[in-house]
Structure 1
């Protein structure tokens, strides 16, 4: 005797959920804004920022003597090398969209992509 694990309705529900999640992922990918600035933080403090439009290479002095090498090329940022033992930050790939980041936990380094920040000026403070 063969047991049926899925009914026709179960299969339709699974297909519907896969289509809905695929559409949501497509919408999220297409709506991401290209960043304009790469901000480097070490131990929670912003230390340097660069434009994504300029190709550059920068050595980051991390926590307790660690180091990372940031490369910006063709509007994308990535870590070329790192002194940390696991090299997870190097393998995170290239980033260019607002909100993306590369994190090196041993060196306490965070590379973050930010967009154009709109500065609001206040004429008065109401209390």
Structure 2
């Protein structure tokens, strides 16, 4: 190989490494709170640092314990929401379709309000 080819390949590898590192750092956002919505309307925002039990109307009950939230009671017939993975500081969501309840991890205020974070504004 010629010297120019080696420099070109090294430049591509360095660029790929920098992009990979950038995506790794951007993907590690902290979700310190959860947001609960019922039928598309916000029910409340709760901190994952405080252990508590939350009664969501007359249909669902979730529990925040040790920085994780799980659905512990539901009036829906299939109880799939109770079997879903817990939402923690890494994010995630719990969805109860029959009762229209959604629990999702929220980014911290500094992450979600930053000008550089992309905002998706489309429905497919």
TM superposition score category, shorter chain reference: 0.5 to 0.7
1:41 aligns with 2:37: yes
CA RMSD across the alignment: 2.3
CA distance in 2, matches of 1:51, 1:67: 21
Superposed CA deviations along residues 38-60 of structure 1, whole A, max 9, x for unmatched, are: 11000001111110000000110
Cross-structure match for 2:98? 106
CA distance in 2, matches of 1:111, 1:52: 12
TM-score (norm 1): 0.62
Aligned length: 89
C-alpha contact (below 8 Å) 1:98/1:115 kept by paired residues: no
Structure 2 residue runs without a partner (length 5+) = 1-22, 115-124
Structure 1 residue runs without a partner (length 5+) = 1-26, 121-127
TM-score (norm 2): 0.64
Q: Which residue of 61, 64, 68 maps to 1:76?
A: 68
Indicate the structure (1 or 2) with the bigger Cα radius of gyration. Answer: 1
